[in-house]
Structures are given as C-alpha cells and as structure tokens.
Amino acid sequence: MKKLLATALVVTAAATALPAAAQFAKPEDAIKYRQAAFTLMGRHFGSLGAMANGKAPYNAATAASDADVLAAVHMLPFRAFGEGTDLGKTDAKPEIWKEQAKFKQASENMDGEMTKLVAAAKSGSLDQLKAAFGPTAKTCKACHDHFRKD
C-alpha cells in the first residue's frame, strides 16, 4: 500500500506540474489515464463505503490508507477530459464538453465532499466516516447520472 501511495503522490505531483493538454500525446492516452484514476478512486471509495455501510468490518488503519489514496488521486481524472477525449472507448457523455461549467462545478462539489471524507476517514471514527460518506457518494452519483453513460 505504501508503494501505491508513493506512486499516486508522484503521479499527482506530475499532473499538477504540467498543463492538462501537455500531459497526453494522444486523446486515447488521456482516456486511459482518467479511466485508471477512476478505477483507483472506485476501489478505495468502495472500501470506505463498505465500512461506512456495515458491509465490511471497520478498520481505522485501512480507512486512513484508503483516504490517503483518495486524497492523492481524486482530482486527477478531471485533468484528462481535454479536446478529442470524447471519442474512443469511453463512458463519458457528450454533455461533459457541451456543459463544461456544469461539469466543472460537479467536479468541485465532489472535491469539497471528498476532502471532508478524507478527513473523516483519517479521524479514526466510524461515526465520522458514516456521516461524510453519504454526501460524498451523492456528488459521485450526481456526476454519473448526468455525465456518464450507463
């Protein structure tokens, strides 16, 4: 897990150091990048959700570790929705590019709630995790409902 976190931190540093368009040689690279970031997010968000919803035993160390990964990667996919990435193998709806302000707002809403979830997961309190998980999940769902194909 430490190796994964270190890798995620390096990726985050690299992603924030370059303009979004300069990161990808081809649109397909951006699509793969954002899909990989969403996969990481889903894995660690799902782990926290299982604990918050009583489907997995609560483990404070695991929750904190999942939070570390989410803190490092949760905004990465949004840098990979550049020009030309609406084509190819993607579940992204055209609304992302047609309603960019709304999409940006959705990502900012998720960022705010994810930041709260990360803090709650690192608190060592299951009650705090439960309280933060629902609102964060709602921001994810809202974005999926409007911007992701079924």
Q: Output the pLDDT for position 150.
A: 84
Name residue 137's amino acid: A
Name residue 91's amino acid: D
What domains are defined for the chain? Answer: 28-147 (1.20.120.10)
pLDDT single digits (tens) 56-82? 999 999 999 999 999 999 999 999 999
Q: HSE on the CB side for 147, CA within 13 Å? A: 20
Within 8 A by CB and 6+ apart from 40, the residues are 8, 69, 73
